[in-house]
Amino acid sequence: MAEDDPGLSRRHMVGGAGVALAAAGIAPEAEARTAAQSAPALDTSADAVRNPDTKYPKPPYRKQSQPWPGLASRMDPPPDHGETSYRGSGRLAGRRALITGGDSGMGRAAAIAFAREGADVAINYYPSEEPDAQQVTDYIRQAGRRGVPIPGDLRDEAFCRKLVAQALDGLGGLDILVCNAGRQQQCGSILDLTSEAFDATMKTNIYAPFWIIKAALPHLKPGSVIIGTTSEQAYDPSPDLYDYAQTKAATMNYVKSLAKQLGPRGIRVNGVAPGPIWTPLQVSGGATMEKLENFGSKTAIGRAGQPAELASIYVQLAADEASYTTGNVYGAGGGTGQP
């Protein structure tokens, strides 16, 4: 989810199923696989093969707006993050992940999927996003995994270091880092873009990943992964997203640069480049009403994508099976020519 201002507090939650299994003397990996397989019953009534064109609502979408940073739970239609559809199979058994912007959007979808694949997950968010963040933590707990909510302002270097320290303490280590949080505010003209707004976008989208990765790196062992969320804006920028688009191009490049730098250490670095995805970014200042109403209509599938449709990409990039994949950016843009 978008990042920008406040500061807050949260609860540390531990999945009861994981604790019970540990008490029974089950090994961590077996514990994680068992917990992933015992996640809440999910909807399996849909046909095995579904038409992607009609799977989710198509535009025109209802005009709507929320104060920044917005809540997914108040969107109409509400986004799908895989809450009732994602089924895990233990692919991330015993892993420990930190996800920024984990309350909604792709961060939320990744958090739910990671937990159902057997990982313990720490998420970062802002105070006004508490309702969404609480839901995510509940889903992590229901999967039998440890959920560590860590609120704070990513524009603050000291907090970014604290964030990593709290994740390490709450999870007992770290081997998956997803730098997903982003600030997106549309502005029709560079003449109207203030230095304060430009700085907030740069601090959130570029400085924060730099600070967080730098703080986490000494604790990442061979086999660890770093995943950045870039965007179609990296190579096909919209005229009203001048500052945001720059940061996404920079994200794509830091992924490729770090992959080369960290490859000899056995740490993989990849990126995910979403196209038009239905998240609170769009309804809290990230798009004009006209663009929001027709969001995703120009894609081959003719609709906005849903966060749930990217969850499996984050899982694949984090999983050990993708051990030869580094320095790559995986797109999901509904046919808009992603990498």
Q: What residues are labeled active site?
A: 244
Residue 149's H or E segment, with its range, is strand 147-151
**Token reading at 113:** 């999927």
Compute φ and ψ for 69, nearest 5 degrees.
Answer: -95, 0
H-type alpha helices, the chain: 16-23, 28-37, 105-116, 130-142, 157-171, 195-202, 208-216, 242-262, 280-281, 289-293, 308-318
- Burial (CB < 10 A; 0-12, 13-18, 19+), residue 218, is exposed
**Token reading at 315:** 């899982």
Handedness of CA 35, 145, 47, 273 (dihedral sign): negative
